[in-house]
Structure 1
Amino acid sequence: MIGAAQVGQFRKAARITQPALAERLCVHEDTIGSIEQGRRPLKPDLAAQLDELLDTKGVLAVAVANVPERERFPAFAQDFVEHEQEALTLLSYENHVVPGLLQTEAYARAVFSCLYPPISPEEEEERVSARLDRKQVFERKPWPATSRSPQG
C-alpha cells in the first residue's frame, strides 16, 4: 500500500517510536502500526500531519493523492474486487450478513461503525463509498448471473 513503507522509514529516520508518533498525532498506536504494515490506508489529512511532523516536504501527501482506485480497498480484498467487476457469474456464501454488493448505505454504515478497533469517521465514509461503488457491477450489460449457496 502506498505510504506504508515510507511512513515507517520516515518515522525511523526521525528517531520517533510508534507510540510517540501516535501520541503526537492523537491517534492510537495500533493505527500507526496498521498504516506502516499496509493494513490501513494512509488518509490525506494524516499524511499532511505526518509530512509536517516528520519534515518530509509533502512526500506522503503527494503519494496519497496519487493512490490508484484499486488501493481504496484493503489489500486482502483488492484482487477479489477486481475479479468481481469482470465476472460473468457471482457465486457466494454468506452466513450472518448481507453481502457487500447487496448492502444499503445504512447497512454498510452500521457494519463499519461496529469495527474494533474503531475507524475514524473519514475512513468510515471512504469505506462506505467504496462499498457502494461496487454496485456498479449490476449496471453492466449483460448483468452478471448470481448464485447463492444454500445455508446448512
Structure 2
Amino acid sequence: MGEGAEEAGWDVEPGDEIEPVVQAVGRLLKICREAAGMTVSELSEAMGYGEDMIRKIERGARIPRPEFLDRADQLLKAQGHLRAFMEDMRKARYPKKVRQLAEMEERAVEMLLYSNHNIHGLLQTEEYARAMYAMRQPALPEDVVERETAARMARKAVFDREPAPTLSFVQEQVTLERPFGGKTVLRRQLEYLLVVSKLRNVTLQVMPTDREEHAGAAGMIEVLKFADGTAIGRSDGAFNARPVSNPKDLRILELRYGIIRAQALTPRESQAFIERALGRL
C-alpha cells in the first residue's frame, strides 16, 4: 500500500491566502484524471491513497504533498502541469505563521538569535522538535504534531543556502540540559549542535547560568537582517513581544543582543561546554 490517506497532505486552514492555489490544483487534478479516463476509485487504487482523500484534494480541501503531484503527473500523463505546482504545495503544507517566518529566514543575510527556554528551532533535531510539540498543552493531535515538526525541519534549509547567511546563536545553559524527549534525544541534539557550531557561517555561544549580570533576562531575542538594509526583530521582553522594524526599536534589540554575546562563553568555550555536557549523559 502507498503512503496512506493520513499522510497524503493536510487540510487547508480557513482563510489562508494559499487556499485559491490549493483549489486550483484540485481542479487541475480532476481535469487530468478525467482526461486520462480514470475514475476516483481507479486513481485511488493506482496511487495507494483512499478515495475520500482524492476527493478532498480535488475539492481543494486538502493540500497534496509534492510527491503526490509528481506521481499523479506521471500516472495521468499530465505533461508537467501538476508538477508545476510542487513548490507551491511544499510551502502550502506548513501553517501560515511558519510559512511567513520561513520566507523571512530565506531572505535574511544575517540572524541574531537568543533562546532561553529551549533549543532554537533552526538548531533542533527532528526528534527534539517532535518532543517539543508532543508536550504542548492542551495536547495537539498527532497529525498536527507531525505537520509542525515537518515545517520546522523544512526551515533548516537556511543552512544550505548560497551565499550562506551569517547566523549567531546564544543558548541558555539550561536549554542544553533539559532532556526533552529523553536523554538519548538530548544526546543526539547536543551532538548536532557541535556539528552546526563548526560551520563557517555559524557562531554558537552558551550563556552560563552562574552569570551575575544578564542582558537577556527579559526573554528571547530574534533579529533578521535583509540584503536591502531593512530588518525585523522581536523579543519577549520588549514592545509587547510584537515584531518591530523601525531603526530605533531595532537598535535596542541589537544592543541587548550584543551585550548578551559579550556576557556568554566564547564560541570555543561553548563547544567545550557542550562536549562536557555530552560526557555527563
TM-score tier (shorter): 0.5 to 0.7
Q: What displacement does 1:25 show?
A: 0.8
Q: What displacement does 1:109 show?
A: 6.0
Q: Which amino acid aligns with 2:84?
A: V
Query: 8 Å contact 1:50–1:60 — kept in the other structure?
Result: yes
Q: Residues 109 and 54 (structure 1 numbering): CA distance in 2 closer, same or farther, change over 3 Å?
A: farther
Distance 1:47 1:108 in 2: 28
Query: 8 Å contact 1:108–1:131 — kept in the other structure?
Result: no
Matches within 5 A, 1:1-152: 1=22, 3-67=25-89, 69=91, 71-73=92-94, 78=96, 81=97, 104-108=129-133, 111=140, 114-115=142-143, 124=146, 127-130=148-151, 139-140=222-223, 141-143=233-235, 145=240
Distance 1:108 1:40 in 2: 22
Give TM-score scaled by structure 2 length.
Answer: 0.32
Identity %: 23
Q: What displacement does 1:67 show?
A: 4.4
Q: Deviations over 1:103-146 (max 9, x none)?
A: 9522536845x34xxx9xxxx4x54232575xxx9735232646
Q: Deviations over 1:51-83 (max 9, x none)?
A: 1111111221122134473x233xxx64xx38x
Give TM-score scaled by structure 1 length.
Answer: 0.54
Query: 8 Å contact 2:221–2:235 — kept in the other structure?
Result: yes
Q: Residues 127 and 29 (structure 1 numbering): CA distance in 2 closer, same or farther, change over 3 Å?
A: farther
Which structure is higher in helix share? 1
Structure 1 residue runs of 5 or longer lacking an equivalent are: 86-102, 147-152
Q: Which amino acid aligns with 1:47?
A: L
Q: Residues 61 and 5 (structure 1 numbering): CA distance in 2 closer, same or farther, change over 3 Å?
A: same
Q: Residues 46 and 67 (structure 1 numbering): CA distance in 2 closer, same or farther, change over 3 Å?
A: closer
Q: Say which SS state the counterpart of residue 142 (structure 1) adopts.
A: strand
Distance 2:39 2:71 in 1: 16
Q: CA RMSD in A?
A: 3.6
Structure 2 residue runs of 5 or longer lacking an equivalent are: 1-21, 102-127, 156-219, 224-232, 242-281
Whose relative contact order is higher, 1 or 2, with alpha carbons under 8 Å and at least 6 apart? Answer: 1
Q: Residues 21 and 138 (structure 1 numbering): CA distance in 2 closer, same or farther, change over 3 Å?
A: farther
Query: 8 Å contact 2:26–2:59 — kept in the other structure?
Result: yes
Q: Which amino acid aligns with 1:106?
A: A
Q: Which amino acid aligns with 1:34?
A: K
Query: 8 Å contact 1:7–1:36 — kept in the other structure?
Result: yes
Q: Which amino acid aligns with 2:35?
A: A
Which structure is higher in strand share? 2
Which structure would you say has the larger Rg?
A: 2
Distance 1:46 1:105 in 2: 24
Distance 1:65 1:30 in 2: 24
